[in-house]
Amino acid sequence: MNSFLDETDWLILSELQKDGRASHAALGKKVGLTGPSVYSRIQKMEREKIIKGYSVHLNSEKIGQGLLAFIRVGTYASSAADEQDAFEGYVRDEPRILECHDVDGEDSYLLKVRTDSLESLRNLLAEIRGISSVSRTVSSINMVTVKESGLNSPVILQNRDERKT
């Protein structure tokens, strides 16, 4: 955790996660600062890479990417580092793969993917299975999304002393 963040910084982060387009003046009203003070704090958090960027959350159904699936990927235990690099390079370059997590346990990776159809998912799986380090894939197709906040790190506001533990 970054030690220079105070309670006001945490409030700003929480508000930005709710509305990344909020003006500095509007944020200032919510956290008890002036717009320029908020701007200064945001700049500092950007420099420190606490705020890594800004994005737009799209309605996947409306842009023809309504099929959400999760793919568990197993790799061969004896896979060389360059073979793992080939898989991870493919993942970084493939736009249908939204997230990739190197996980411990039965699987090596967990992928979150969006496609326009089952056929597109089938083609993606074939490409993944064609990578030499991949031993197997197990897919789960999303039926209904109960919660998808788009947040990668929820800001939990609580007693500052509790957060340090």
pLDDT of residue 162: 47
pLDDT, average across residues 55-67: 87
pLDDT of residue 165: 42
Across 15-19, 31-35, 46-50, 55-59, least confident range: 55-59
Token digits for 97?
């793969």
SS3 12: helix
SS3 68: strand
pLDDT of residue 25: 97
Task: Please answer whether residues 1 and 163 qualify as being in contact, where contact means their C-beta atoms are separated by less than 8 angstroms.
Answer: yes
Q: Using pLDDT thresholds of 50, 70 and 90, give the confidence band for residue 160.
A: very low
- Whole-number average pLDDT of the chain: 88
Task: Please answer whether residues 134 and 91 qualify as being in contact, where contact means their C-beta atoms are separated by less than 8 angstroms.
Answer: no
Show the domains of the chain with their CATH numbers. 7-56 (1.10.10.10), 67-141 (3.30.70.920)
Q: Using pLDDT thresholds of 50, 70 and 90, give the confidence band for residue 128.
A: very high
pLDDT, average across residues 61-89: 89
Cα gap 70→57, rounded to integer Å: 19
Task: Count CB atoms within 10 A of the CB of residue 114.
Answer: 20
Alpha-carbon torsion 128, 129, 132, 136, what sign? positive
pLDDT at 72 over 60: yes
